[in-house]
Structures are given as structure tokens and as C-alpha cells.
């Protein structure tokens, strides 16, 4: 995809907001910016990666919505969103690191029969 508007935008940020609350706030920021979530990955309680698409013209609005959700973007990510525009669809990933004092989340993995 040589077109600058169509390239994958890899965004990074961090927050001190409680993890489950933050996931909802980020989802609402994406949907409120005329986007939709296409995939979601959770890495213990340390970070999340959300894949989404939205019209490129709504990327600047997304920057403001994420700031309102208390997700602080890297300078590079902030610039990528603020300078975007156009009518093409933008494919993005957003990696959010959670800053907290909680221990790693542990999950019990059930044995597979056989």
C-alpha cells in the first residue's frame, strides 16, 4: 500500500486509568470517531492492542477522544493523528500500556483431555 493514507498506523500510548474502565473508554473513543474495532488482544494486565478502522478524516478527532479518555499518546502517534486527513479508510493499531502497581494477572489453563 504505497498510498500514505492507506498505510497501517501503529499508535502507542499509556494510561494510569484502571484497565477495564480504560478498555471501555478507548472503545467508545473509536466508535465515537466513526470507527469500528476489528481485533483485540490483551497481554495480562500490562497492555492491550486494539486493531480498528475509521475514515482518515476522523483521526484528528480520535486524538482528542483518546486524550479525554486519559490515554497519553507518544509524540509520534499524536503527530500521526493530528496530521491525518482525507476520505480514505485508515487501518490502525493502538497499543496501550497500563501503569499500575498490581501484580501480573494469572489465569488457570485447563488441561485438554486426551
pLDDT band at 4 (very low <50, low <70, confident <90, very high): very low
In this prediction the pTM is 0.83
Half-sphere CA count of 69, side-chain side, radius 13 A: 26
pLDDT at 114 over 70: no
Average of per-residue pLDDT across 9-34: 96
Helix ranges restricted to H, 16-82 = 19-32, 59-68, 75-82
Render pLDDT for 57-91 as a digit per residue (tens, 0 to 9).
999 999 999 999 999 999 999 999 988 777 789 99
Amino acid at each position: 500500500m504505497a498510498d500514505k493514507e492507506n498505510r497501517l498506523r501503529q499508535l502507542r500510548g499509556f494510561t494510569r486509568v484502571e484497565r477495564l474502565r480504560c478498555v471501555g473508554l478507548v472503545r467508545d473513543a473509536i466508535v465515537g470517531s466513526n470507527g469500528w474495532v476489528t481485533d483485540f488482544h490483551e497481554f495480562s494486565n500490562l497492555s492491550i492492542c486494539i486493531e480498528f478502522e475509521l475514515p482518515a478524516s476522523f483521526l484528528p478527532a480520535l486524538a482528542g477522544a483518546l486524550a479525554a479518555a486519559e490515554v497519553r499518546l507518544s509524540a509520534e502517534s499524536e503527530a500521526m493523528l493530528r496530521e491525518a486527513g482525507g476520505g480514505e479508510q485508515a487501518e490502525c493499531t493502538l497499543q496501550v500500556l497500563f501503569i499500575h502497581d498490581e501484580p501480573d494477572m494469572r489465569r488457570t489453563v485447563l488441561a485438554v483431555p486426551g
